Amino acid sequence: MEKKKIAILGSTGSIGTQALEVIEEHSDKFQVEVLTANKNAELLIEQAIKFKPNVVVIVDESRFDEVSEKLWEHDIKTFTGEAALAQVVEMDDINMVLTALVGYAGLLPTIHAIKAKKSIALANKETLVVAGELITKLATENGVVILPVDSEHGAIFQCLTGEVQNKIEKIYLTASGGPFRGKKKEDLQNTTKEQALKHPNWDMGAKITIDSATLMNKGLEVIEAKWLFNLKPDQIDVIVHPQSIIHSVVQFEDGSMKAQMGLPDMKHPIQYALSFPYRFTSKSPRFNFMVYPELTFEQPDTDTFLNLSLAYLALEKGGNTACVLNAANEIAVEAFLNDKIKFLEIAEINKRSMEEMEFIKTPTYEDYVSTDAETRKFASSLI
């Protein structure tokens, strides 16, 4: 196969850096065409010099001169700003866009990439949470495949390969339970961000780690799964699996179940999305059954971890509700990380925002933009 030319949006984050490790291991199969970062100019420069992309984008305009000057002698073109981030994915040489941006920022570049008929490796779940109906419709109209990078959705995708003619009865998204599994509300009143950032199984960025601690990450994955696999809310179950070995399960109409298993390592789903439909060799450690003699499962506690219930509510209500939930959550998580609110207040702000913001049954892209902006303003007023 010819080298696949990849654009990595968010190359300095957790997913982006691991994707570059995968690409380096398979340099005969992949070529980096575009790298982008929000503010981390130092790491972006280091990555660009090593992987020699055609173009880099530093979104923070105050860092443009620094990046441009360092990369000029390497003949790497540098651009800046949110508009450049959305436009760069349209380059003719790109075969695939890995959207590894955090939060709402991933929506517009993904729309541009789909319209340019690029294959999408989606690690930015918020794109489908905010505008799932719009994104899936655009993908169908443009003949674009969206390959999930989340370990859970990547697991479902792998279980469905070869099963196109068979209907899904139910899927089970597994959750580790995060650092506070088994805790009750009274135990979490004075939780610190340092405690919340200690995830037991996965090494992730700060925002997604807090989302995992509140179970919001799993809630967002429930909404994403609806759009990726064309499911109804009652076809999606969440089950707590502390060992994080079974990444998710598909149950078919005959009662048969398929699960995808492996050690908790994000490089596996990243590589599978980049290489699909092929499987390439990997140097990652192998699972040993003797090290895990027991795999256990529990029901999630949606009373203590209200965000998961809010996600199901947003899914049932539809319209712009999930956009409201996502925007409020991004504001609340940032406030918690900056010591402005308590841990349990994250879900409270999300709930209030869902109750107060205007409901739009059939939103346009412009409606999503205004909903996001208005919700952020409202959520900020609660802090």
**What is the percent of the chain where pLDDT is above 90?**
87
One domain for residues 75 and 168? no
**End position of a domain, from candidates 317, 332, 366:** 317
**End position of a domain, from candidates 95, 114, 148:** 148
Ranges 40-54, 104-118, 186-200: which has the least confidence = 186-200
One domain for residues 8 and 136? yes
Residue 102 pLDDT class (50, 70, 90 cuts): confident
pLDDT in tens, 12-65: 998 999 999 999 999 999 999 999 999 999 999 999 999 999 999 999 999 999
Looking at every residue in the chain, the average pLDDT score rounds to: 94
pLDDT in tens, 338-383: 999 999 999 999 999 999 999 999 999 999 999 999 999 999 999 9
The yes-or-no verdict on residue 116 having pLDDT over 70 is yes
Identify the bridge partners of residue 4 per DSSP, sorted by sequence position. Answer: 30
Residue whose pair of structure tokens reads 């037991």 in the numeric block: 200
One domain for residues 157 and 303? yes
One domain for residues 192 and 253? yes
**Alpha-carbon span 80 to 58, nearest angstrom:** 5
Q: What is the mean pLDDT of residues 262-287?
A: 93
One domain for residues 144 and 174? no
One domain for residues 326 and 309? no
The yes-or-no verdict on residue 120 having pLDDT over 80 is yes
pLDDT at 104: 82
**Alpha-carbon span 38 to 44, nearest angstrom:** 9
Residue 83 belongs to a domain with what CATH number? Answer: 3.40.50.720
Ranges 171-185, 195-209, 264-278: which has the least confidence = 195-209
One domain for residues 62 and 125? yes
Domain enclosing residue 368, as ranges: 318-383
pLDDT at 207: 87
How would you label 306-335 residue by residue, b for 16+ Cβ within 10 Å and e otherwise?
bbbbbbbbbbeebbbbbbbbbbbbbbbbbb
pLDDT at 203: 66
**End position of a domain, from candidates 317, 338, 359:** 317
pLDDT at 205: 76
Q: What is the mean pLDDT of residues 309-326?
A: 96
One domain for residues 70 and 201? no
- Structurally, the chain folds into a number of domains equal to 3
pLDDT at 206: 85
pLDDT in tens, 196-216: 888 776 666 788 889 999 999
The yes-or-no verdict on residue 227 having pLDDT over 80 is yes
One domain for residues 169 and 294? yes
Residues 6+ apart with CB under 8 A from 326: 103, 104, 126, 129, 130, 220, 372
One domain for residues 288 and 354? no
One domain for residues 135 and 217? no
Closest to 329 measured CA to CA, from 366, 300, 296, 357? 357
Residue 193 pLDDT class (50, 70, 90 cuts): confident
Closest to 98 measured CA to CA, from 14, 217, 42, 208? 14
CA separation, residue 196 to residues 10, 239, 266 (Å)? 23, 20, 20
One domain for residues 49 and 115? yes
pLDDT at 135: 94
pLDDT at 199: 76
Residue 323 belongs to a domain with what CATH number? Answer: 1.10.1740.10
SS (H, E, C) the chain: CCCEEEEEECCCCHHHHHHHHHHHHCCCCEEEEEEEECCCHHHHHHHHHHHCCCEEEECCHHHHHHHHHHHHCCCCEEEECHHHHHHHCCCCCCCEEEECCCHHHHHHHHHHHHHCCCEEEECCCHHHHHHHHHHHHHHHHCCCCEEECCHHHHHHHHHHCCCCCCCEEEEEEEECCHHHCCCCHHHCCCCCHHHHCCCCCCCCCHHHHHHHHHCHHHHHHHHHHHHHHCCCHHHEEEEECCCCCEEEEEEECCCCEEEEECCCCCHHHHHHHHHCCCCCCCCCCCCCHHHCCCCCCECCCCCCCHHHHHHHHHHHHCCCHHHHHHHHHHHHHHHHHCCCCCCCHHHHHHHHHHHHCCCCCCCCHHHHHHHHHHHHHHHHHCC
pLDDT at 1: 67
Report the amino acid identity of residue 289.
F
Residues 362/364/370/374 CA torsion (nearest 10 deg): 20
